[in-house]
Structures are given as structure tokens and as C-alpha cells.
């Protein structure tokens, strides 16, 4: 079985739910307490053993490349002031040279299209997809749990999570078959997927929560470039096609997902990360309690 070494991070969407915040700053560069949303997700990927990140960007998102590059002027200014501890902080999220690549999605035609834009950089090996606006609060990290499941069953493995009561119709929902032993009932064969089922028709209450391990044959499905729900090229549609040929499993991962794509979700993520922060958590708690 081939190891999962690469991850695709699609960040080229318009971010309509969080405008105007995402107008001049890429959505994934919005702050989650102490660093941009995307930096939290890259850290989760590194903890899962990812060695190469392919970031699918749109126009006006050069701030992302700058964040993951050396801040030469900033660092020399800090050095001249003897602030070495700050230099270490601004370098903390940098990867080794060559571990991050960028590819442009020239029009935001949908998540499936964004993933397809990464095909040449992924090549013929299994890979992860991480939606950076879905922040996973989990130990071990969400992707590490998914990779462990993949190493047990192979094929394609998707992270899922229970949808809030009465909200399944807002999400991509999975249908499940037999459970895989050794995972406390959390890993099961996946028999189907449905994007935003009509209320009351959902096959389960488990939604696809933004982390995937996929086989490269998904690119053949995506190449058809068929528009689905909302007129967008959907990753879910390509996965439904691949399900006819390859096994899929769903892992109900152990943790909580924060959807940072809307203002309230981003606020929840900020609070959750703040409260757990090793140095600033106590001060954050006191500030929040005072506000409440």
C-alpha cells in the first residue's frame, strides 16, 4: 500500500458566506486566535506525515505564498532590534524548501475542479484533501486519524461527523454498510453519498467534514468536468462515480469540526483555540468571562 505523502489544500473559493472579511484577505488567511486558519491546517497535515502541500489558489491570494516564505525585511528588522524570540515565532510555520507548491484555479468552478487542478503535482499516488476552512479540534489530529484508518483498510477514506440535529440537509451525507472491527464502530464501509439531502430523506446523520484520503483515479472522474449542485464541479459527484469501482470507508473521527467559512463558526474556532492555548489560554478565558 502506498503511503499518503501529499495533501491538496483548495483555497480558491469566493468565500461568499464570510464577505466582506474575505474580500481583500483570502478567507484561509483570516486569523484563528494566534495564526491564520491555513497555518493550523498545515500543522495538522504535518502531524499526519504529509511531506508536500499543494495549495490551489485563486487571484489576489499572494498573501498565502508570502506567509509561508521567509519574511526577509521583517526578520532583518527584528534581528537589528535583538528580538530573536520573535524571529523564531514568525518562522514556526515554515516548511522545508520544496514542501509547498501552488497552482492557480483560474475560475472558481467548484471544489472538484479545484482538486483536479492539482492532478499533475499529485501524480499516481493516494493523497489527502484538506478543506482549510474546516478546522478540526482533535487529538491525534483529524488527518492523522484518517491516515491511520487508511493504513488499515486502504482505498478511499473520508472523515465524517454527526450533523447537528435537523441540519443534515445542509451537508454532504454518507450511507454506511458494515463496521470495520478494531475501530470501536467508528470506521465503516461507505455505500453511498448524497449532497444536501431533502429533509427527512438522509441515509444517516453523518456529514463529510473536510478531510479525505483519495486514490488518484478520482482525477479521471473529475476530468469529465460535469457541473452538479449549484452549477459547480463537485468532489462528491466524482466520489460517487469512483464508488462503483473502488472501496470507500467513512471514519467518524474523534473530535470537533469548526466551519470557519461563516462568521459564527470562525468565532467558535477562535474561542476554542484561545481557551486551549498553552500560554494565553488563561488570559483568554478571563477576558471571555468578563465579556459574558
Binding residues for ligand UTP restricted to 76-115, rule: CB under 6 A: 105, 108-111, 113-114
Binding residues for ligand UTP restricted to 115-144, rule: CB under 6 A: 131-133
**C-alpha closest to that of 217 among 147, 105, 122:** 122
Q: Does residue 172 belong to the site contacting ligand UTP (CB under 6 A)? A: no
In sign, the C-alpha dihedral spanning 189, 194, 196, 199 is negative
Distance separating alpha carbons of residues 66 and 70, to the nearest angstrom: 8
Segment interacting with ligand UTP, rule: CB under 6 A, options 5-13, 44-52, 156-164, 272-280: 5-13
Work out how close the CB of 288 gets to ligand UTP at its nearest, in angstroms, rounded to a whole number.
26
Decide: 215 and 242 in contact? Cβ < 8 Å. Answer: yes
Among 155, 172, 261, 265, which residue sits at the site for ligand UTP (rule: CB under 6 A)? 261
Q: Classify residue 222 by burial, with Cβ atoms within 10 Å: 0-12, 13-18, 19+.
A: buried
Distance separating alpha carbons of residues 159 and 146, to the nearest angstrom: 7
Mark residues 30-69: x for contact with ligand UTP by CB under 6 A, - for none.
--------------------------x-------------
Size of the site for ligand UTP (CB under 6 A): 22
Work out how close the CB of 150 gets to ligand UTP at its nearest, in angstroms, rounded to a whole number.
21
Based on CB atoms, which residue is closest to ligand UTP, 111 or 157? Answer: 111
Q: Which residue is nearest to ligand UTP (CB)?
A: 13
Q: Which residues contact 66 (CB under 8 A, 6 or more apart)?
A: none
Based on CB atoms, which residue is closest to ligand UTP, 112 or 155? Answer: 112
Distance separating alpha carbons of residues 252 and 243, to the nearest angstrom: 19
Q: What angle do CA 117, 123, 129 make, to 5 degrees?
A: 55
Based on CB atoms, which residue is closest to ligand UTP, 113 or 211? Answer: 113
Among 11, 39, 78, 147, which residue sits at the site for ligand UTP (rule: CB under 6 A)? 11
Written as nine digits, the cell of 133 is 476552512
Decide: 68 and 91 in contact? Cβ < 8 Å. Answer: no
Q: Does residue 10 belong to the site contacting ligand UTP (CB under 6 A)? A: yes
Written as nine digits, the cell of 24 is 481583500
Based on CB atoms, which residue is closest to ligand UTP, 57 or 153? Answer: 57
Decide: 139 and 255 in contact? Cβ < 8 Å. Answer: yes
Q: Which residues bind ligand UTP (CB under 6 A)?
A: 10-18, 27, 56, 105, 108-111, 113-114, 131-133, 261
Amino acid at each position: 500500500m502506498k503511503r499518503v505523502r501529499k495533501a491538496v489544500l483548495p483555497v480558491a473559493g469566493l468565500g461568499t458566506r464570510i464577505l466582506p472579511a474575505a474580500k481583500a484577505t483570502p478567507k484561509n488567511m483570516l486569523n484563528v486566535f494566534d495564526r491564520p486558519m491555513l497555518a493550523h491546517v498545515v500543522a495538522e497535515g504535518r502531524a499526519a506525515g504529509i511531506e508536500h502541500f499543494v495549495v490551489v489558489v485563486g487571484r489576489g491570494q499572494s498573501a498565502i505564498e508570502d506567509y509561508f516564505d521567509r519574511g526577509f525585511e521583517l526578520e532583518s528588522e527584528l534581528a537589528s532590534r535583538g528580538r530573536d524570540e520573535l524571529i523564531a515565532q514568525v518562522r514556526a510555520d515554515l516548511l522545508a524548501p520544496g514542501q509547498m507548491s501552488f497552482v492557480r484555479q483560474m475560475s472558481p468552478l467548484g471544489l472538484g475542479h479545484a482538486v483536479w487542478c492539482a492532478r499533475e503535482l499529485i501524480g499516481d499516488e493516494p493523497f489527502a484533501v484538506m478543506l482549510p476552512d474546516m478546522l478540526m479540534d482533535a487529538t491525534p489530529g483529524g488527518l492523522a486519524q484518517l491516515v491511520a484508518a487508511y493504513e488499515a483498510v486502504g482505498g478511499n477514506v473520508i472523515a465524517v461527523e454527526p450533523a447537528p440535529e435537523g441540519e443534515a440537509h445542509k451537508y454532504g451525507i454518507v450511507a454506511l454498510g458494515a463496521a470495520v472491527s478494531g475501530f470501536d464502530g467508528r470506521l465503516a464501509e461507505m455505500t453511498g453519498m448524497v449532497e444536501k439531502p431533502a429533509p427527512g430523506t438522509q441515509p444517516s446523520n453523518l456529514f463529510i467534514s473536510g478531510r479525505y484520503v483519495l486514490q488518484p483515479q478520482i482525477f479521471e472522474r473529475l476530468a469529465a468536468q460535469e457541473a452538479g449542485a449549484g452549477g459547480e464541479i463537485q468532489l462528491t459527484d466524482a466520489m460517487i462515480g469512483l464508488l462503483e469501482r473502488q472501496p470507500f470507508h467513512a471514519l467518524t473521527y474523534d473530535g470537533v469540526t469548526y466551519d470557519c467559512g461563516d462568521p459564527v463558526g470562525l468565532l467558535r474556532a477562535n474561542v476554542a483555540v484561545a481557551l486551549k492555548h498553552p500560554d494565553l489560554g488563561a488570559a483568554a478565558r478571563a477576558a471571555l468571562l468578563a465579556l459574558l
